[in-house]
């Protein structure tokens, strides 16, 4: 028995049309599409922050990453002495943006927590680990303590 092309074609095309329509709709379900999968809390929090706040947080994050990297490399008195000059620019960047971060409204603070929280928490933890390691090591701690005391990790928690 031979199937009629008129009956077979619509039967074959209907699922294909549905698949294409769904795959096309799925690509629109990002932030602009408004579909159920569109809500990304981190993207929404980021969008709610002013460029000034985002810039300050990014500057802070870059400064803290630099501090943590330098502290990680301190192993002896020589590297501790060398780290002091290397740490200063990072500490200055952090000092420059901290006043703005400290005056965030509760709503902005919540947006920062959602948008940048994991990075902020990781860097604060890493900084604390390195600071404890170095300040507990006698003369190395004495050398880096003045810089470490200037750096207060910012958390949005």
Q: How confident is the model at residue 28 (pLDDT cuts 50, 70, 90)?
A: very low
Whether the predicted pLDDT of 33 surpasses 70: no
Number of domains in the chain: 1
In a domain, 28, yes or no: no
Structural domain containing residue 103: 54-150
Identify the pLDDT of residue 21.
41
In a domain, 107, yes or no: yes
Supply the mean pLDDT for the chain. Answer: 81
Q: How far is CA 16 from CA 27, 82, 147, in A?
A: 17, 66, 65
In a domain, 38, yes or no: no
What distance in Å separates the CA atoms of residue 43 and residue 48, rounded to the nearest whole number? Answer: 9
What distance in Å separates the CA atoms of residue 124 and residue 47, rounded to the nearest whole number? Answer: 24
Instruction: Judge whether 51 and 28 are in contact, CB under 8 Å.
Output: no
Indicate the pTM of the whole model.
0.72
Identify the pLDDT of residue 86.
93
Instruction: Judge whether 132 and 97 are in contact, CB under 8 Å.
Output: no
Angle at 52 between CA 51 and CA 53, to 5 degrees: 95
In a domain, 63, yes or no: yes
In a domain, 30, yes or no: no
Residue scoring higher pLDDT (137 or 4): 137
In a domain, 12, yes or no: no
Q: How far is CA 125 from CA 34, 47, 68, 115, in A?
A: 37, 27, 10, 18
In a domain, 98, yes or no: yes
What distance in Å separates the CA atoms of residue 124 and residue 112, rounded to the nearest whole number? Answer: 15
Identify the pLDDT of residue 62.
97
In a domain, 23, yes or no: no
Per-residue pLDDT reduced to its tens digit, 8-24: 444 444 444 434 344 44
Nearest alpha-carbon partner for 81 in 91, 73, 89, 69: 73
Identify the pLDDT of residue 17.
40
Lowest average pLDDT, out of 89-98, 103-112, 145-154, goes to 145-154
Mean pLDDT of 105-131: 95
Q: How confident is the model at residue 150 (pLDDT cuts 50, 70, 90)?
A: confident
DSSP reduced 3-state for 31: coil
First to last CA, the chain: 72
Identify the pLDDT of residue 10.
47
């Amino acid at each position: 028995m031979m199937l009629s092309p008129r009956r077979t074609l619509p039967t074959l095309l209907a699922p294909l049309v549905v698949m294409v329509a769904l795959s096309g709709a799925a690509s629109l379900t990002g932030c602009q599409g408004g579909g159920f999968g569109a809500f990304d809390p981190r993207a929404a929090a980021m969008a709610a922050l002013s460029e000034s706040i985002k810039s300050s947080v990014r500057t802070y994050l870059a400064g803290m990453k630099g501090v943590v990297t330098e502290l990680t490399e301190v192993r002896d008195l020589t590297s501790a002495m060398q780290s002091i000059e290397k740490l200063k620019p990072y500490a200055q960047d952090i000092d420059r943006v901290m006043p703005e971060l400290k005056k965030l409204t509760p709503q902005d603070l919540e947006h920062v927590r959602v948008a940048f929280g994991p990075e902020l928490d990781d860097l604060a933890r890493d900084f604390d680990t390195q600071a404890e390691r170095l300040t507990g090591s006698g003369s190395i701690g004495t050398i880096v303590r003045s810089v470490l005391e200037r750096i207060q990790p910012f958390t949005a928690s």
